Structure 1
Amino acid sequence: MKTTKQILLVASAVIGALANYSENNATYFNPTLPGWHSDPSCTRVKDTFYCVTSTFIAFPGLPVYASKDLTNWKLISHAWNRESQLPGLSYNTSEQQQGMYAATIRYHDGVFHLICEYLGTPGGIVGVVFKSTDPFDDAAWSDPIRFKTGKIDPDLFWDDDGKAYVATQGILLQEINLKTGDLSQPPVSIWNGTGGVWPEGPHIYKKDGYYYLMIAEGGTAQDHSITIARSRKIYGPYEPYENNPILTNKHTNRFFQTVGHGDLFQDEAGNWWGMCLATRSGPDFKIYPMGREAVLFPATWNKGEWPVLQTVEGKMSGWPSLPAVSRDVAGDGPFNTDPDVYDFKGGPIPKNLIHWRVPREGAFSIKNGLEVVPSRNNLTGIPFGDIELSGQRGLAFIGRRQTHTLFTYSVDLTFDPKSVGQEAGVTVFLTQVNHIDLGVVLLESNSTIKTAKSKGQLALRFRVESKNVPIPVPATNIVPIPSHWKSPIRLQISTRNNITYDLSAMPASNEAAAIKVGTASAQLVSGGNGTFVGSLVGAYATCNGAGKGLDCPEGGKAVFGRWRYTGKGQQVAQGVIVAEEGRS
């Protein structure tokens, strides 16, 4: 196994070699949207590209990214950004991978339309269409038009006569009224793919007198593929391409696996491009904590012919030029791979920080720091049990996507717990049953003599919850906090290579006093019970079940300051990690 130093030496050689391609702007690295960004859908309006990805029960959900150059992507808004848009849906969602499945973003008659379907409600699937004339503003996204459906992955297509159509998993086609949500009945089956399981993720394009229907099939794991068919009429019959699939990495030893579920679009020069999902796992498919990420590929689509899509690799080159590099994108959100430098001295919560389900009102606020009111449920909760402890009413957790193979994340914690069991800390979070935590917690004192002033022992606690993974879960480790440490305490998560997380603590005033409290394999947050999602890193507060109803005992509020996330490197091939500054 290569050491980090050896890997970065390889990276330096790769970066140096890129000098030979300085005149070929099409050379770039995947993933273009690193971190958990599954099921991408994209469109272009004038000189700006817009993409949306799946978020399931994360909130705010359905992030909209904008880019001028296809490689620098800025988070500009979330279409689902307030509880009032879908009141009660999040609170009634019990499983870990329900919520907002694959969306499609399209622009028509001056309006952005974002169509999606929400799974996990007692009444079944809820179809939603959000609209906006200003995608750079959260508040401009409308309350959704709802429609009834039993299938997922909706596409939205307007024909030349102005009629709008929705295609869904199956593949079923219906006309939709975008004012009322009414669908034509019954749904018409127009194609069932080439024989792979789960034909889904459809997108319809009209070109050269044909309706092209591009779908995903083969499941979302290593047999994932993109296939295509076409017809002279929108309802078919559809003729499949004889050389299907048109894009897949199945049955290969490539580092990027699960390639599929894509969307196609053009740049201003008329060149075709596509985005789809992929997993940086290699054929072993064991370690992939960032889950399903968004990758960019060039396409050739000549008149009257089938599209030709370039195979997805970590390093892409040898195609017509990308648009000129530009970060001149409107909006107040961050670019996806930029570092976090947040001191929480005022203003709104940064756009790239998200929750697991809609949080309780007032649980998070920025005053002199990010104040977090603890939840009775801890990060695990009791899935399918007591709703007050399940996490369905919102975890006191806030995090950001892990967007780099090599990174360091740290936050300063001011915390004065009053009751045994109160805890605040940091976590690598995949789902409620797959997470790696380092907390500051008040435990029962070991002393046999307790006084009225004795409230327990403050300690650092490393513990892991990981279900459905084939490796042992590390033992819990408890380390008393040295008496001479002064508040705030800095908690840190870092990766020394592509497979290991180190969790450490130190006084914020003295990094040299750092204590490594735990080490965990990234396999513990790869797949498991979160096969559709990817790891978040962030902060939490809990009273671990004490209290009543939704409320913890008095005290235990956590204040987080000096939030830092710095990406250092991206793995782009087996054994090759490219330094972050060398990716673009």
Structure 2
Amino acid sequence: MAATYQNPIIPGFAPDPSICLIDGTFFLVNSSFHIYPGLPIYMSDNLIEWKHIGNAINRPGQLSLARATTYLAPWDDGTIMVGTGGLYAPTIRHHNGITYIICTNVIHGPSNEPGDERTEQFIIHTTDIRSGKWSDPIVFDFPGIDPSLLFDDGRVYVQLCKTGPEFQIYNLEIDLLAGRMVAEPALIWTGWKKGYTEGPHIYKKDGWYYLLCAEGGTFRYHMLSMARSKSIWGPYEAFEMNPLYTASGTTQYVQNTGHGDLFQDRNGKWWVVMLGIRSKEGRSIMGRETFLTPVDWPCDGWPIIEPVTCRKDSGVAPNHRLDDSLAAVAWVYLRDAKLDRYHIRDTHITLRADLVELASPDESPAFVGQRQRRLEGTATVTLYKPQHSTPVHAGLSLYKDEHRHFTIGYDFHQQQVVFKGLNQAKRFSHTKTERVEVQHSVSFKLAYTEACLQFLFRIQGEHWRELSTIDAAVLTDYDFTGPIFCCPVGD
């Protein structure tokens, strides 16, 4: 099985993967942070062809993303880490005919500063994952991130990372339906390197409880480590050959690998999905994506993970198998979206303008988009002149968060094409304008490669004209989210 899989299996803004096998079909979920609908679900029969079939957080009122804001956290070396709130590191599991997702909603406080936040752990479930009908969240009160579920001998356990000065792994038993703790949480592992130990999953195999974790932070020192115990409550002994897997210190194309989930295919063969980035000359335009690689896990032994492979010259090849054709599934909005603003029919989108800008830290601007799925390609949009005079401005953007967005658009009041590029994490700001009169329509194109992004426009019947070109390094940061192509509209 999966002899010809191509990485990344889920390209573009697809971090923190978790996977399970349900009735012979694989289902995978990723973090989504500030994006609505949240927690995208992907399906595959063979680990080769993947289809985006839905989103687990998919209706207004299911939960709030209003405080899924983004802060800028300076490090001692002057680097800025970009931290976004919202939906972190889900785990998907199937038990007795019911599929469960457990996840953290990170809610930033009013100061929007690191440390001013609280977390809500929640569980949602469905009896038919293909239907998209997920329950309302059951919230249980325990601080931390990255929760995981284990069903074992009639009991339900949660493992998660308790953050603070130390990142440590706790285990607790819960009443799944009531969302309450049955047994007090217990510290079971402080980690191998004792630095940012998170993303725990426990697997019961050959009489052992194997604890898989991510360590080192989600950037250059990211890794997978493992420990095991005869009791779910520990004590856990670390694998003497840790890290179990890392790309740190190598020249591999796929870097920052970690935060994985082990699973078996229909033939009992072991695999792992994990996040990683495609890094070329210091540029990583796609952000964190989902990668797959085989695992050899001998009886009573430790898993051996094969190196993650991904051809440098693959261009768009790894991405073409992802079927995102269900338009209602693929479209995304920001935070608590006001869906009555939008009307989407085939390739035509009608948006009602709003005063909220892309730079708003906590509101939802008039914004509709899709994740960037290809390493190289183009995104285009055509705007039609309103029938009546209006001060509206609209266009095409590449968006990551309120601090980082790049837009080419038309200001109908000033009658000019405008490019605005902003990355506050890199102290980058650039604006360029060109006066153009639009009689009927104006089109915009964003042509992108691993190296650069080119912003172009044309008036009906004319040739494309370049307004600005941006080095892809400007979009490469220590961050959690990935690029989204979107159409913003403002007054």
Work out whether the TM-score is over 0.5.
yes
Worse-matched range after superposition: 366-375 or 218-227: 366-375
Given that 2:190 and 2:197 are in contact with CA atoms closer than 8 Å, whether structure 1 keeps it comes out as: yes
Alignment coverage as a number of residue pairs: 459
1:192, distance to aligned residue in structure 2 (A): 1.1
What is residue 165 of structure 2 aligned with on the other side?
A: none
Q: Give the TM-score, by structure 1 length.
A: 0.75
Q: 1:120 aligns with which of 102, 107, 113?
A: 107
What is residue 445 of structure 2 aligned with on the other side?
A: 492
1:403, distance to aligned residue in structure 2 (A): 1.3
CA 1:522–1:298: 2 relative to 1, 3 Å: same
For residues 321 and 424 of structure 2, the distance between their equivalents in structure 1, rounded to whole angstroms, comes to: 29
What is residue 459 of structure 1 aligned with on the other side?
A: 416
For residues 397 and 523 of structure 1, the distance between their equivalents in structure 2, rounded to whole angstroms, comes to: 25
What is residue 502 of structure 1 aligned with on the other side?
A: 454
Matched, 1:538 2:491: no
For residues 109 and 441 of structure 1, the distance between their equivalents in structure 2, rounded to whole angstroms, comes to: 56
What is residue 66 of structure 2 aligned with on the other side?
A: 91
Q: Aligned letter for 1:526?
A: T
What is residue 435 of structure 1 aligned with on the other side?
A: 405
1:42-93, Cα deviation, whole Å (9 max, x unpaired): 011132101000001110000010001112111111111112212xx22244
SS in structure 2 of the partner of residue 513 of structure 1: coil
Q: Aligned letter for 1:517?
A: L
1:363-391, Cα deviation, whole Å (9 max, x unpaired): 1123693111122122113x4xxxxxxxx
For residues 108 and 340 of structure 2, the distance between their equivalents in structure 1, rounded to whole angstroms, comes to: 25
CA 1:349–1:76: 2 relative to 1, 3 Å: closer
Q: Give the TM-score, by structure 2 length.
A: 0.89
Q: Report matched runs for 1:42-441 at 5 Å.
A: 42-86=19-63, 89-95=64-70, 97-120=84-107, 124-138=118-132, 140-159=133-152, 161-169=153-161, 170-282=168-280, 286-315=282-311, 337-338=322-323, 350-366=328-344, 369-381=348-360, 383=361, 392-416=362-386, 421-441=391-411
For residues 415 and 465 of structure 2, the distance between their equivalents in structure 1, rounded to whole angstroms, comes to: 15
1:420, distance to aligned residue in structure 2 (A): 7.0
1:121, distance to aligned residue in structure 2 (A): 5.3
Q: 1:478 aligns with which of 430, 433, 451?
A: 433
Q: Aligned letter for 1:201?
A: G
CA 1:417–1:380: 2 relative to 1, 3 Å: farther
Q: 1:515 aligns with which of 465, 468, 471?
A: 465
Q: Report matched runs for 1:6-17 at 5 Å.
A: none
For residues 149 and 95 of structure 1, the distance between their equivalents in structure 2, rounded to whole angstroms, comes to: 23
SS in structure 1 of the partner of residue 394 of structure 2: strand
For residues 263 and 92 of structure 1, the distance between their equivalents in structure 2, rounded to whole angstroms, comes to: 28
CA 1:177–1:399: 2 relative to 1, 3 Å: same
Runs of at least 5 residues in structure 2 that lack an aligned partner in the other structure: 72-83, 110-116, 162-167, 313-318
What is residue 548 of structure 1 aligned with on the other side?
A: none
Matched, 1:35 2:12: yes
1:543-581, Cα deviation, whole Å (9 max, x unpaired): 2xxxxxxxxxxxxxxxxxxxxxxxxxxxxxxxxxxxxxx
What is residue 11 of structure 1 aligned with on the other side?
A: none
1:229-268, Cα deviation, whole Å (9 max, x unpaired): 1111110111111111111101111111110000011111
For residues 421 and 385 of structure 2, the distance between their equivalents in structure 1, rounded to whole angstroms, comes to: 22
For residues 99 and 419 of structure 2, the distance between their equivalents in structure 1, rounded to whole angstroms, comes to: 45
Q: Aligned letter for 1:477?
A: K
1:181-222, Cα deviation, whole Å (9 max, x unpaired): 001353101111112411000001001100100000011111
Greater strand content: 2
* Bigger Rg, structure 1 or 2: 1
Runs of at least 5 residues in structure 1 that lack an aligned partner in the other structure: 1-23, 317-333, 341-347, 384-391, 444-456, 544-584
1:269, distance to aligned residue in structure 2 (A): 1.1
Given that 2:173 and 2:184 are in contact with CA atoms closer than 8 Å, whether structure 1 keeps it comes out as: no
Higher RCO (CA 8 Å, separation ≥ 6 residues): 1
For residues 91 and 489 of structure 1, the distance between their equivalents in structure 2, rounded to whole angstroms, comes to: 33
